[in-house]
Chains A and B, each alone.
Chain A
Amino acid sequence: MIGQIEDVIIQTFCRLIIPFMQVFALYVIAHGHHSPGGGFQGGCILGASFILLCVAYDIGEAKGRMSEKLNVMLCSLGVIIFGGIGVVCLILGANYLDYGILHKLLRVDVPQARSLGILGIEIGVGFAVMAAMISIFLNLASRGEHEEAIEWE
């Protein structure tokens, strides 16, 4: 078993690159309906930036930045955004995830409503994928035994 390696080259590189990775991930999410990319890919990049932090430092340091409770909440929030937009479309009288009908709610024309609707969907997917990636990594890295348990009020 190899101990924890503190490597100044890797840590400095990760400190440099992680903010740019996260900005790029937001770009991929926000530009998903104009160019290749979208919620899933952007969420994966966001999750990868956090995993890089875990690898370069340690899991405790990374959990100090984003607790596991917040992570699970973001995962649920992403699913709620995705399903919520679909259900709002249903309530307004269109099919599930038929965003065109959102023009009644947003007071814009139909193509703009479609664009905004798919942006919302991608933000939801991005949250859910990011949280799921981080959760999978933390489970695998700590062999299923989390260092701190998830506390629910």
Chain B
Amino acid sequence: MSIAAILLLSAGTFFFATGVIGFLRFPDFYSRMHATGKGDTLGAVLMLAGLALYNLDGGFSLGNLLVSMKLLFIGVFWFLANPTATHAILRAAFDSGLMPWTKDGKPVIEWPPKSQEDT
């Protein structure tokens, strides 16, 4: 049980670290959110699953099961809420006209896109 918990916690830490590296190294807002949105979601859910397993290490009593269920509920909530929040932030940036990064600083398509104006 604790080996599985350690594995899950390590995987969660790996995804968090990947997200932070992406956040530091990527050039603009969209790609940074792309890194942190995915990395944080999976990292946090894996860590919560690991903590729930670790909590069950002391035995399957009712109190332990209750705490583990609460941790799993937090995980489900996080799995729904974090991508939605990322989507909302990105949508707001897109609608306010932030241009994605390109190598020479010129937009590859006409910016802002025409189709966006009639929404």
Chain A residues near B (Cβ < 8 Å):
2, 5, 7, 9-10, 13, 16-17, 20
Contacts and interface: CB of A to CB of B under 8 A. Distances in A.
B75 to A, nearest CB: 14
Q: Which 4 A-B pairs have the closest CB atoms?
A: A13-B84, A9-B87, A10-B88, A2-B95
A30 B92 CA distance: 37
Nearest to B94: A5
Contacts of B95: 2, 5
B84 A9 contact: yes
Interface of B: 77, 80-81, 84, 87-88, 91-92, 95-96, 119
A20 B73 CA distance: 11
Nearest to A55: B88
A10 B84 contact: yes
Given A5-B92, A10-B87, A10-B88, 18 more contacts: A2-B92, A2-B95, A2-B96, A5-B91, A5-B95, A5-B119, A7-B87, A7-B88, A7-B91, A9-B84, A9-B87, A10-B84, A10-B91, A13-B84, A16-B80, A17-B77, A17-B80, A20-B77
B96 A13 contact: no
Contacts of A7: 87-88, 91
A2 B81 CA distance: 24
B114 to A, nearest CB: 16
Contacts of A2: 92, 95-96
Nearest to A16: B80
Contacts of A16: 80
A9 B83 CA distance: 10
Contact of A13 (B80, B91, B92): B80
